[in-house]
Amino acid sequence: MTMPYTSVIVLIIGFNIMPSDITVLDIIALCFFFSTWYSISLLSKHYKSQDKVTLSSISKSYRNQWMLYLLKRENRMPDVALVGSLMRSVSFFASTSLLVLASLVAVFGAVEEAINITSDIPYAQQVSSAFWKLKFLLLVSIFAYVFFKLVWSIRQFNSTVFMIGAAPDTFDSDTELFAYANNLGIVINRANQHFIEGMRGFEYALAVLAWFIHPSIFILAILIVSLVIYRREFASRTMKAMIDD
C-alpha cells in the first residue's frame, strides 16, 4: 500500500456529506495531495524497474550484502544488535504516531476553539465546523495509516532477528547460503519499505496542516514536501556518497 487508502475512504465519506462551503480550489488541492503522494511512490518504483539508482535502491543493495556477510560470520550478535537499533527507531515513530492520534482525538472535543485559533491567522480561510472536521479526519486517517505501517515494519524487523537466530552456523552449499541470505534480504527490505512509507505519511501530514489555513497554501506545502522527498530520494549527497563507496 503506497498511499493512505483509508484517507481516500474518509474523503469519499466526507464528500457524501459535503460541506456547503467547500470550494473548487479545495477539491483541486485535495486531489493534488493524493496524486502527488502516489506519484512519488510510483516514481521510485519506476526508477527501480529501470535499474536507476535511488537512495532506496542503493540502501537495499547494502542490506542484501549485509545479510550475506552476516551469515558467513561466526559471531552474529553485533548484527542482531544493529537490527535491534533499527527496530527501536521505528518503535519511536510508531509511539509518536499513536500519541499524535490520541491528541487529535482529544481536539475533536474542542472543534470550535480550534476554529477560533486558526481564524486568527492572517489570510486564513473561514470554514464551517463540518468542513473543519473533514480536514481533521484526513489528518486522523493519515496517522492511523502511519501507525499500522510502522507496526508492521516492527514485526518484520522482529522476523529478521528470528531468522538470524535460526540460521545454521554453516551451510552445506553456496546455493543454500545465497537462498537464505536472499530470504533475509526480502524480509528486512520489506520492513524498511514500510518504515519509509510510514515516514512519508509524517511528511505529508505536515502539508495537510497548511489546508487549515488556505487551500492555496496547502498546494504550496505539498510542492515543498514533494520536492524535499524527491531531492533526498533521487539526488541527495548521501546517495552519491553511498554510490561512491
Rounded CA-CA distance 236/193 in Å is 18
Q: Which residue has the cell 460541506?
A: 19
Q: What is the pLDDT of residue 21?
A: 74
Q: How many residues does the chain have?
A: 245
Lowest mean pLDDT among 98-102, 220-224, 240-244: 240-244
Q: What is the pLDDT of residue 8?
A: 55
Q: What is the pLDDT of residue 49?
A: 56
Q: What is the pLDDT of residue 52?
A: 72
Q: What is the pLDDT of residue 228?
A: 93
Predicted confidence (pLDDT) per residue in 130-182, tens digit: 788 888 888 999 999 999 999 999 999 999 999 999 999 888 899 999 999 99
Close Cβ partners of 198 (under 8 Å, ≥ 6 residues apart) = 90, 93, 94, 97, 146, 147, 149, 150, 153
Total domains present in the chain: 1
Q: What is the pLDDT of residue 110?
A: 74
Rounded CA-CA distance 222/242 in Å is 28
- Coil, strand or helix: which one is 11? helix
Q: What is the pLDDT of residue 55?
A: 86
Predicted confidence (pLDDT) per residue in 76-117, tens digit: 899 999 999 999 999 999 999 999 998 888 887 777 777 777
pLDDT at 15 over 70: no
Predicted confidence (pLDDT) per residue in 30-85, tens digit: 899 999 998 888 887 766 655 678 888 889 999 999 999 999 988 889 999 999 99
What range does the domain containing 145 cover?
Answer: 5-244
Q: What is the pLDDT of residue 108?
A: 75
Q: What DSSP letter does each residue of 66-82 carry, written as one string? A: HHHHHHH-S--HHHHHH
Looking at per-residue pLDDT, the higher value among 6 and 180 belongs to 180
